[in-house]
Amino acid sequence: MITIIDYGMGNLRSVQKGFERVGLSAKVSADPRDVEKAERLVLPGVGAFRDCMANLRAGGFVEPIRAHVTAGRPFLGICLGLQLLFTQSEEFGHHQGLDLIAGKVVRFPADLRAGGETLKVPHMGWNQIAIRRPAPIFRGIEDGSAVYFVHSYYVVPDDPAVIAAETDYGRPFCAAVWQDNVIATQFHPEKSQQVGLKILENFGKM
């Protein structure tokens, strides 16, 4: 069973429907006891880093998430769920994250440019991924596949070796990480059509 953490922020039902479309059972839960016994765990997220971390703490999810990762069970973070894995974020000040992956979350600069034109922030829409490491979720996914992004901040890992995929938006940035049993994407697999569904299916088979 795949458990999707309901901490009050995230596209929970769309993620659940994505798993169901590829024949996988997934449930949304706001009970930290379900997180403790989950076979596979998904942390989606939209909104502000600070508020999401506050909700995770208030809901009693922080230690169960850490225990799940330490136990070596598969974990998938999506969008803000990727950023929350890192040490800290500079969104609206400096805020501590789960610190499961060393690094920080930073904002795209206001003067971001490509081809002589200023790029809009947030980075929103379809963009291609360059696969840097053969993470399990990328089995059967072609390098250069297009996926869907919506974000103003991106992660900068202390160790570049954890980067599984990159995308270019005025500059290269980390689009996915892979560290042992932890995989997370800055893009939204549940909004990325067939490529995204394949990624969700691959996670369900980890």
Annotation marks residue 174 as catalytic: no
pLDDT for the residue numbered 109? 93
Pick the catalytic residue from 68, 95, 123, 188. Answer: 188
Helices (H) and strands (E) in the chain, counts: 6, 16
Determine which helix (DSSP H) or strand (DSSP E) holds 13, and give its type and residue range: helix 12-21
Give the residue extent of every domain in the chain.
Answer: 2-93+104-204
**Chain segment 21-67, per-residue pLDDT in tens:** 999 999 999 999 999 999 999 999 888 899 999 999 999 999 999 99
The encoded tokens of residue 54 equal 């506050």
Pick the catalytic residue from 68, 79, 166, 201. Answer: 79
Q: Please compute Rg for the chain using Cα positions.
A: 16
Short-list 161, 151, 139, CA closest to 188: 151
In this predicted structure, the answer to whether residue 68 has a pLDDT above a threshold of 90 is yes
On whether the CB atoms of residues 141 and 133 are closer than 8 A, the answer is no
Beta strand 117-118 with 172-179: parallel, antiparallel or unpaired?
unpaired
On whether the CB atoms of residues 190 and 201 are closer than 8 A, the answer is no
- The pTM for the full model equals 0.95
pLDDT for the residue numbered 57? 96
The encoded tokens of residue 155 equal 């992660």
In this prediction, residues 162-189 reach a mean pLDDT of 97
Annotation marks residue 190 as catalytic: yes
Determine which helix (DSSP H) or strand (DSSP E) holds 203, and give its type and residue range: helix 193-204
The encoded tokens of residue 115 equal 């081809």
| Inter-CA distances, 127 with 123, 132, 168, 187, 197, Å | 9, 16, 8, 9, 16
Class of domain 2-93+104-204 (CATH, top level)? alpha beta
Pick the catalytic residue from 68, 95, 166, 190. Answer: 190
**Chain segment 125-163, per-residue pLDDT in tens:** 999 999 999 999 999 999 999 999 999 999 999 999 999
Annotation marks residue 90 as catalytic: no
- The share of the chain scoring above pLDDT 90, in percent, equals 89
**Chain segment 79-130, per-residue pLDDT in tens:** 999 999 999 999 888 999 999 999 999 999 988 988 888 999 999 999 999 9
Determine which helix (DSSP H) or strand (DSSP E) holds 118, and give its type and residue range: strand 117-118
**Chain segment 182-191, per-residue pLDDT in tens:** 999 999 999 9
